Amino acid sequence: MEALAPSVPAHGTRAAASSFEARRAVATWLFVCCALVFAMVVIGGVTRLTHSGLSITEWQPIVGTLPPLSDSAWNDAFTRYQATPEYRDVNRGMTLSEFKGIFWWEYFHRLLGRGIGVAFLLPYLWFLLRRRIPPGYAKPLAGIFVLGGLQGALGWFMVASGLVDDPRVSQFRLTAHLGAAFLIYAAMLWTGLSLLFPDRANHALPGLRSARRLAFGIAALVFVMVLSGGFVAGIRAGFAYNTFPLMQGRWIPPEIMMLTPWWKNFFWNMATVQFDHRMIAWLLAFSIPFTWWRLRRSRTPARARRGADLLLAGLVLQISLGIATLVNVVPVPLAAMHQAGALVVFTLALNVAHALR
């Protein structure tokens, strides 16, 4: 005789279903916001690669929502750009038509940033008023919104560094802006995954603790890789040493520590900055397959093992994109895909770590 299922009150079943639906709805909203941030990161990369980021010389969060709508407004915007170091030193003689081409990239980048703020705030308020946000999540979600607002200010702080003397933005501010975008993305993704998968891995499973440490270490290392990529982009180190696996015929280029004091090499020396980026890539190239192997050998959750399969595939694709971008001297399409690939690998690493939390 089959065992009878335990009796569950009807109102309890409805409450559980309602709770699950609420968690899934909030998680879906967060994943949509993650997709918008993903697009923001890619468009931001294209904006940087096309030298469009300094084309708008003012930060007007409200008024700046509208682009120039008349010939006089376009001429005013172009005149302001002509007063910048980038026009003077890099784009002297640019026509108004050419200026519009770079203006639109930066405009859409900023417009998408505003759109993400609206896409986050309005549903958050709706969920809050309808009491659909699960207990313990309202304040963290509000914190994510505050971080998003600060990210906009950080973006302008970055742009402002290229409007004074040097026609390039500070590599420190660029890296901080990029890193903050990844952290905001991670916060939304982790929260959404926690809503969809509230259960934690069984601590009693053999080897789980070491697997967890490896997974979190991989996620942290991918983030460090992203930051190193920010410095590569900030000083345009990708346009030098365009060979692989050697750097102009050397494993370690002789220029690697040519600046004094020594610590400046890690932030201003193209050879050192690119070498560091390569070394972190090599470290990931060995540590991710090792983590995959460990998860396959351990009694870890199936979700973690499936995630490790995807992470390994993502690593192969990202390294391939990185090499192709380098040897082809940073073409915009490949470089944009490489930046997108970094966020894909970060996503996959976070998913594995979350499955083992």
Convert the pLDDT of each residue in 17-36 to its tens digit: 558 888 999 999 999 999 99
pLDDT at 291: 94
Taking Cα atoms as reference points, which of 18, 23, 113, 21 lies closest to residue 65?
113
Intervals of the chain under pLDDT 70: 1-18, 63, 201-206
Which residues have a Cβ under 8 Å from the Cβ of 144 and sit 6 or more positions away? 120, 184, 187, 188, 191
pLDDT at 211: 87
> Do residues 230 and 45 lie in contact, with contact meaning Cβ atoms separated by under 8 Å?
no
What is the rounded distance in angstroms from the CA atom of residue 343 to the CA atom of residue 324? 18
pLDDT at site 330: 95
Q: Which amino acid, one-letter code, is at 311?
A: L
Q: In this predicted structure, what is the pLDDT of residue 13?
A: 54
List the domain boundaries for the chain: 15-198, 201-357
Q: HSE-up of 22 (CA within 13 Å, CB side)?
A: 18
| pLDDT at residue number 15 | 53
The percent of residues in the chain predicted with pLDDT above 70, rounded, is 93
- Cβ distance 188 to 40 under 8 Å? no
> What pLDDT is stored for residue 263 in this prediction?
95
The radius of gyration computed from the CA coordinates of the chain, to the nearest angstrom, equals: 24
pLDDT value for 16:
52
pLDDT at 309: 96
Q: What's the pLDDT score for residue 204?
A: 60
| pLDDT at site 115 | 95
Q: Is the model's pTM score more than 0.85? A: yes
